[in-house]
């Protein structure tokens, strides 16, 4: 029989008057784990100042949850100083009090999974189990159980498992026991309290106690599809905040940013988990923040959190306050904005997409054709005659379709106000030797106070970053962001935004960059089974498996698509998002129409990093958006297999491990790849992986391997037994060899190749790699600067390395090689390999080599777009038309030969796709010498070198030959030669 007792001395729930704690000034070191598909986690020493990472004291408390003034010691937590009105949580010392029981309220090991059910991994004995609640967060564990409660509710069950619907939602607790709650509980009131459960033995002793995780019951009772954020009408502005565990919510309104005290305080009313209020329409342009009174499990106290609106569409500098801004207002639209959708560059099919990955600051920070006040910002893209925009026009004219911008939302790590930035003495750095460690010392000394960061530190997803605007306050960032999109569209380039929904920059009730965790603590961020925040993405993982997290992601995507008219989204660590969420996102975006939304959603493409690791690996939290799970969805994912096969090893292997393009077996660099036969085998396996990738990494594509076996792409395996191929459609594969993560393509080539080969040879390897990506089926992806031999002086992770190491030079005078040893933190162990290369002047390209690289890149883009045969739309078309030759045991090492066949109109068989060419043969020769390749299958054709290559400035490729009588091709060293059969021949 259930027992419910409520203390008569406790009044009905009221907002609590707790003093507001002083916000923490803690900073977060942005550490990135990138491009991985294995289980891993971040581990930092206890002495680390990076309190945003999961670091536990001996009792298991997460260090990141405590307010400023606490520090970790070998024995636990120690209070250094605190101005907080609330008493900070302190661990007991062994000398004055006994240790807490293992299952204490510091943990949340039980899960309230639905209105009527609690899941707990505990054996039910003969004694009772109770749920406890305290409005004022006074619960504590005593010898006889939990004390300080207002409510004590007996639970039933504990002897059976969880129902299937719960297991599907929470697969990581599938073996937990089910405890039932009484059916007539006022659950809504209970959820505003501090909660705990305890179970007793038959002799009345408490055998286990813990706090609760609430996402399940919150989803069950408070999933909400109504308005959120600030909603504008003709007469009022309505404020809506989803905060079902809050005890009270107020909006502090500021008419002017200069005011330290609010002009108005508006009390919001709560109903069914949503807090709402209406304010006058003429408050548009004012600023506001919410004060949310809520129990926070990280401090075990009721906290008054000052926080921005998670649905903010405008901000003051550094996100101090939310701006009341109506994005539909004509005041914030550049001229012609409403008609931009009609001006979008033509896109017939997603198969026609090619992507250029670019950081906004990199684009113009060092472009001296841009006015100093506009460098590094949105408006630099509006200068049609700048060196950077002239380069972008050349790329677009050659066929490039999309520019992928690294994070553009409000992120931490860069002050929004430029006058606060610190800079280095450029003349001093330029005077230092190319292999000096002094450049990086100067850069890292100010790296958290300059204007540079990649931006993978999300704070608020729905507002453009202020540091890229000419004024971070007001609506300037909205207008200038739109001008940027408009300018790129008008030169023929669609815009992709890099979105980071897998983690957040901060958590807890005190950090100024914490937002969602202040409003509904324990809901938006994914917890482990102990109740601590998961950090496998290296900071504050989010939980898209929770209804309102998924909804926030979908609403944010909708805002960027409709109000900023962007053309695609790249998802950072997409594998940490649920597949269901990604499929919903794709469906929602592609349902947008010109008539209803002013955009053509059918042209919006989404893709991301499908790595499978951490707590989500192997569907640990539900079916996640990993490479293999996304097959058949039409959502793209990065193909790391072709990258690793071409370059060698992986970003986490030995830096000297070679690949197909970098000299494996053919030009040994001294690294131990095994004996000659082992190296030859590695080269042969790499060739097979590349061929699968060039066939769009289709799992059912049939090819002949190096050993003569006819297999499907999914039957070709990586070294650890994972299938190479996973895609069902060509547009599900993003082929690439370099990205913002890890070293640039030129740097990798310079590191992995023998030191005694010529600069010209390295340049040709760079061209070879980009050509293989450009001419593959699937979607090609290029890191900005690959076409200019871009270097970061061998920095493997330049996320915070400043403008110095990330420079782009669109004048083509420098590729940024040899500007000092890269930052110590991520590169020091490789300095012995790096230093002699940077010191050698023969490694540094001159303008002539850079210009030649640009011309080569443009040529291969033009070739890709000269024929639809390079952009096949279906798996069946790829299987029917694409063939690989030079296969089987007698293959010529270092050579890949690919043909693409077209049909003839009116002739049975293949349909005709190309009006110009009926047959294409592409030969990639990675060898240091000229090669001859003969094939009876390719005999008696009327093939000739592609007109683009005949007209190119590359005299070497013009030496390529084809002899029809023998079917013999001659291809120069380190060259990609494209032969075409013209229909006019």
Which residues are identified as catalytic? 572, 609
The CA dihedral of 674, 679, 685, 690, to the nearest 10 degrees, is 120
Residues 6+ apart with CB under 8 A from 846: none
Residues 6+ apart with CB under 8 A from 504: 458, 459, 514, 515, 516, 517, 524, 525, 539, 540, 542
Q: Helices 847-864 and 759-774 sit at what angle, rounded to 10 degrees? A: 20
The kind and range of the H/E element at 180 are strand 177-180
Burial 503-530 (b: 16+ CB within 10 A, else e): bbbbbbbbbbbbbbbbbbbbbbbbbbeb
CA 111 remoteness from chain centre: 29
- Judge contact between 636 and 605, C-beta under 8 A: yes
Compute the Cα dihedral for 910, 913, 914, 919 and give only its sign.
Answer: negative
Other Cβ atoms less than 10 A from the Cβ of 368: the count is: 13
Give 813's Cβ-side CA count (13 Å radius).
6
- Among candidate residues 239, 224, 332, the one with its CA nearest the CA of residue 289: 239
| Backbone dihedral angles phi then psi of residue 913, each to the nearest 5 degrees | -115, -35
Within 156-240, where are the H helices? 164-169, 187-190, 215-222
C-alpha to C-alpha distances, 627 to 464, 696, 860, nearest whole angstrom: 29, 13, 28
| Backbone dihedral angles phi then psi of residue 497, each to the nearest 5 degrees | -100, 140
C-alpha to C-alpha distances, 610 to 34, 635, 843, nearest whole angstrom: 11, 10, 35
Other Cβ atoms less than 10 A from the Cβ of 566: the count is: 22
Strand locations in 847-963, DSSP E? 882-885, 895-901, 917-925, 931-934, 943-945, 961-963
The kind and range of the H/E element at 773 are helix 759-774
User: Strand 229-232 and strand 917-925: pairing?
Assistant: unpaired
Question: CA-to-CA distance for 633 and 567, rounded, in angstroms?
Answer: 18
Residues 6+ apart with CB under 8 A from 877: none
Other Cβ atoms less than 10 A from the Cβ of 833: the count is: 14
Task: Order the strands of the 882-885 sheet from edge to edge.
Answer: 882-885, 895-901, 917-925, 975-982, 943-945
The kind and range of the H/E element at 198 are strand 194-200
Residues 6+ apart with CB under 8 A from 908: none
- Judge contact between 601 and 565, C-beta under 8 A: no
Q: Is 670 left (phi over 0), alpha (psi -120 to 50) or beta?
A: left
Place of tokens 């039933």: 156
Other Cβ atoms less than 10 A from the Cβ of 899: the count is: 21
| Backbone dihedral angles phi then psi of residue 922, each to the nearest 5 degrees | -120, 130
Other Cβ atoms less than 10 A from the Cβ of 982: the count is: 13
| Backbone dihedral angles phi then psi of residue 773, each to the nearest 5 degrees | -70, -45
Question: CA-to-CA distance for 58 and 77, rounded, in angstroms?
Answer: 9
Question: CA-to-CA distance for 629 and 683, rounded, in angstroms?
Answer: 29
């Amino acid at each position: 029989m259930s027992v419910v007792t409520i203390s008569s001395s406790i009044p009905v729930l009221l907002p609590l008057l707790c003093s507001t704690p002083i916000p923490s000034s803690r900073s977060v070191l942005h550490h990135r784990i990138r491009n991985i598909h294995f289980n891993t986690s971040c581990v930092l020493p206890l002495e680390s100042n990076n309190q945003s990472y999961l670091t536990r004291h001996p009792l298991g408390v997460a260090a990141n949850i405590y307010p400023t003034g606490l520090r970790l010691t070998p024995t636990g937590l120690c209070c250094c100083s605190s101005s907080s009105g609330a008493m900070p949580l302190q661990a007991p010392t062994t000398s004055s009090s006994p240790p807490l029981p293992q299952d204490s309220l510091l943990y949340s090991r039980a899960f309230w999974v639905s209105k009527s059910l609690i899941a707990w991994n505990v054996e039910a004995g003969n004694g009772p189990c109770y749920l406890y609640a305290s409005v004022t967060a006074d619960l504590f564990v005593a010898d006889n159980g939990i004390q300080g409660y207002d409510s004590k509710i007996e639970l039933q069950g504990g002897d059976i498992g969880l129902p299937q619907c719960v297991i599907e939602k929470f697969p990581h607790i599938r073996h937990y026991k089910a405890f039932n709650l009484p059916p007539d509980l006022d659950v809504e009131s209970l959820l505003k309290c501090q909660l705990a459960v305890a179970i007793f033995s038959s002799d009345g002793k408490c055998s286990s106690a813990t706090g609760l995780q609430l996402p399940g019951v919150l989803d069950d009772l408070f999933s909400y599809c109504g308005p959120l954020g600030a909603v504008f009408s003709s007469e009022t502005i309505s404020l809506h905040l989803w905060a079902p565990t809050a005890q009270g919510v107020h909006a502090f309104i500021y008419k002017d940013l200069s005011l330290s005290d609010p002009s108005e305080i508006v009390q919001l009313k709560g109903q069914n988990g949503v807090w709402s209020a209406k304010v006058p329409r003429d408050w548009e342009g004012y600023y506001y923040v919410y004060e949310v009174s809520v129990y926070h499990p990280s401090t075990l106290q009721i906290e008054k959190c000052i926080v921005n609106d998670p649905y903010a569409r405008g901000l003051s500098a550094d996100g101090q306050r939310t701006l009341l801004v109506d994005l539909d207002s004509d005041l914030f639209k550049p001229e012609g904005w409403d008609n931009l959708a009609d001006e979008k560059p033509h896109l017939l099919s997603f198969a026609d997409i090619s992507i250029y990955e670019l950081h906004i600051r990199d684009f113009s920070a060092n472009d001296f054709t841009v006015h100093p006040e506009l460098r590094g910002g949105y408006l630099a893209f509006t200068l049609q005659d700048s060196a950077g925009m002239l380069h972008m026009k050349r790329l677009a004219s050659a066929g490039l379709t999309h520019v992928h911008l690294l994070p553009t939302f409000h992120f931490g790590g860069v002050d929004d106000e430029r006058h606060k930035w610190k800079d280095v003495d450029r003349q001093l750095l330029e005077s230092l030797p190319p292999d000096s460690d002094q450049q990086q010392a100067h850069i890292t000394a100010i790296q958290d106070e300059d204007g540079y960061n990649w931006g993978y530190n999300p704070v608020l997803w729905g507002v453009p970053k202020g540091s890229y605007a000419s004024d971070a306050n007001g609506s300037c960032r909205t207008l200038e962001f739109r001008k940027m999109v408009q300018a790129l569209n008008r030169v023929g380039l669609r815009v992709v935004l890099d979105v980071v929904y897998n983690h957040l920059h901060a958590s807890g009730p005190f950090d100024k960059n914490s937002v969602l965790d202040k409003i509904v603590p324990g809901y938006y961020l994914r917890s482990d089974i102990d109740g601590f925040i998961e950090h496998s993405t290296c900071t504050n993982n989010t939980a898209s498996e929770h209804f309102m997290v998924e909804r926030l992601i979908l609403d944010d995507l909708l805002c960027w698509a409709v109000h900023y008219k962007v053309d695609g989204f790249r998802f950072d660590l997409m594998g940490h998002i649920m597949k269901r969420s990604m499929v919903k996102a794709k469906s929602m975006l592609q349902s947008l129409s010109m008539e209803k939304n002013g955009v053509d959603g059918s042209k919006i493409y989404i893709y991301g990093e499908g790595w499978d690791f951490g707590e989500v690996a192997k569907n640990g939290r539900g079916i996640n958006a990993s490479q293999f799970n996304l097959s058949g969805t039409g959502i793209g994912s990065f193909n790391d297999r072709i990258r690793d096969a071409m370059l060698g090893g992986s970003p986490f292997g030995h830096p000297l491990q070679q690949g197909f393009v970098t000299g494996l077996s053919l030009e040994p660099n001294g690294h131990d790849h095994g004996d000659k036969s082992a190296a030859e085998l590695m080269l042969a396996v790499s060739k097979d992986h590349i061929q699968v990738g060039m066939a769009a990494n289709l799992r059912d594509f049939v090819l002949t391997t190096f050993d003569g076996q006819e297999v499907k792409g999914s039957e070709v395996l990586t070294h650890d037994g994972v299938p190479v191929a996973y895609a069902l459609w060509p547009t599900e594969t993003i082929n690439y060899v370099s990205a913002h993560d890890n070293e640039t393509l030129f740097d990798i080539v310079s590191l992995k190749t023998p030191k005694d080969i010529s600069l010209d040879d390295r340049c040709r390897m760079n061209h070879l790699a980009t050509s293989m990506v450009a001419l593959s089926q699937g979607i090609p992806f290029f890191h900005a600067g690959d076409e200019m031999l871009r270097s970061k002086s061998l920095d493997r992770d330049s996320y915070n390395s400043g403008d110095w190491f990330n420079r782009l030079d669109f004048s083509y005078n420098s590729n940024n090689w040899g500007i000092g040893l890269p930052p110590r933190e991520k590169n020091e162990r490789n300095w012995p390999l790096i230093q002699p290369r940077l010191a050698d002047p023969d490694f540094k390209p001159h303008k002539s080599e850079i210009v030649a690289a640009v011309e080569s890149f443009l040529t291969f883009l033009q070739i890709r777009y000269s024929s639809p045969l390079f952009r096949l739309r279906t798996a069946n078309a790829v299987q029917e038309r694409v063939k690989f030759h030079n296969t089987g045991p007698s293959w010529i090492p270092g050579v890949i030969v690919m043909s693409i066949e077209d049909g003839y109109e009116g002739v049975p068989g293949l349909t005709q796709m190309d009006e110009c060419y009926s047959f294409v043969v592409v030969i990639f020769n990675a060898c240091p010498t000229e090669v001859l390749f003969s094939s009876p299958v390719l005999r008696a054709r009327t093939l000739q070198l592609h007109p683009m290559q005949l007209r190119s400035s590359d005299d070497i490729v013009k030496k390529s030959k084809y002899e029809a009588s023998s079917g013999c091709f001659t291809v120069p060293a380190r060259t990609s030669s494209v032969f075409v059969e013209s229909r006019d021949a």
